[in-house]
Amino acid sequence: MLVSIDHSSSVSLAEQIAASVRRGLVDGSVRKGDRLPPARSLARTLDINMHTVLRGYQILKNEHLIDMRPGRGAVVTADAPASTLVTEACRHFVALAQRAGMSRTDILDLLHTQLHAATQGPPGLD
Amino acid sequence: MLVSIDHSSSVSLAEQIAASVRRGLVDGSVRKGDRLPPARSLARTLDINMHTVLRGYQILKNEHLIDMRPGRGAVVTADAPASTLVTEACRHFVALAQRAGMSRTDILDLLHTQLHAATQGPPGLD
DNA sequence: CTACTTGTTCGCATTGAGCTAGAACAACAG
DNA sequence: CTGTTGTTCTAGCTCAATGCGAACAAGTAG
C-alpha cells in the first residue's frame, strides 16, 4: 500500500492517511485481515509525528474499517472493497450536500426521493 | 432569506453564510437581481464581525453567484446554482449501493454513519 | 516470568486558519 | 455635498492541527 501525504494540502494529514488506506481498500492493495504499518514506523517513513498517524488510524476505526489494539497494531476489518466504494460515494454526497447548505432533513429527503426513483427503474445488475 | 449560523459547527462562519445564500437560491427565496443585506447590518444581526460576512460574500463572488461594489452592495447575478451536482452525487451513491446489494435500511444506516462522521469535531454534538 | 512491540493517554509548545476589532479609503446613490 | 457600502490595512485573539516527549496498558514472543 502506498501512503503519501501533501503538506501543502488543505486536507489534514490525518485525513490524508485515512484516505490512503481507503484507496488501498478500493484498489485491492489492502485487504481484510491485513495489518497496517505501526504508527511509529509509518510516522518515521513519512517524517511526521506518530500521533498524527494514529489520528488518521482513529478516523478509520470510527468508520469501522480497522480494529486497533496495543501490542497487536491496526488490523483491517472491512468487509468488501465494494462497500468502501459505496462509502466513498456517500461521503462525497454528504460533503457536497452540506456545502450546499442542506440540512440533515434536506439530505434525507433527497435520498428518499432518489431511492423511490431508483426502485422504479430497471435492475442494474450487469 | 434566512441566514442562520452555528458557532459550534466545524464549518467556518463565512462558509455558513455563503451556504445560506446558496440554499436561498435553491429554494427560491433568493433570486437573480436580489440584493443581499449590507455586510454591516447582517453582521449586527448575527452578532458577528463585518469582515466575516464580507468573507462569506467573497466566497459567493468567487463562484460568480453575486457581484459586489462599494456603495451598491452585493447583488445576485446568477440563477439557482448547480444543485444538480448534489442530486447527481446522491444518484451515484444510490446506484452504487444498490448494485452492491445493499438494502434500503443499509443505505440509510450508511448515510447516518457518514452524517455523524461528518459532524464530528468539537465534542458534544448530537 | 521477562523483554519487546504497539496502541493509549497525558501534558505542553508551535503553527496557521478563522474571527474579531478598529480605522481609513474608494465607489456609488440620493 | 452627505450617507451608504464594499475594500483594504494592521493588529490581536482563539482554536484546531501538528509536533514532541513521556509514561502507561495490552498484546506478542522468548
Give the H/E segment covering residue A75: strand A73-76
The verdict on B26 touching A (C-beta cutoff 8 Å) is: yes
Is the pLDDT at A51 greater than 90? The verdict is yes
What is residue A37's predicted lDDT score, i.e. its pLDDT? Answer: 97
Confidence label for A82 from pLDDT (cuts 50, 70 and 90): low
Name chain B contacts of A93, Cβ cutoff 8 Å. Answer: 86, 89-90, 92-93
The answer to whether A90 contacts B97, with C-beta atoms less than 8 Å apart, is: yes
Residues A71 and A106 in one domain: no
CA dist., res. B46 & res. B115, Å (int): 26
Residue of B nearest to A95 (CA): B118
Task: Classify residue B60: in a domain, yes or no.
Answer: yes
CB atoms within 10 A of CB A116: 10
Task: Classify residue A2: in a domain, yes or no.
Answer: no
What are the cell numbers at B33?
A: 437581481
Task: Classify residue A99: in a domain, yes or no.
Answer: yes
The answer to whether B91 contacts A97, with C-beta atoms less than 8 Å apart, is: no
The answer to whether B19 contacts A91, with C-beta atoms less than 8 Å apart, is: no
Is the pLDDT at B29 greater than 50? The verdict is yes
Residues A62 and A102 in one domain: no
Residues B28 and B66 in one domain: yes
Residues A36 and A89 in one domain: no
Is the pLDDT at A97 greater than 60? The verdict is yes
| Total number of domains constituting chain B | 2
Residues B27 and B70 in one domain: yes
Residues A19 and A63 in one domain: yes
The mean of the pLDDT values for chain A is: 84
CATH for B25: 1.10.10.10
Range of the domain at B60: 13-76
Residues B30 and B66 in one domain: yes
CA B11 / C1′ D30 distance in Å: 52
Residues with Cβ within 8 Å of residue B115, at least 6 apart in sequence: A94, A104, A107
Task: Classify residue A7: in a domain, yes or no.
Answer: no
CA B24 / C1′ D14 distance in Å: 31
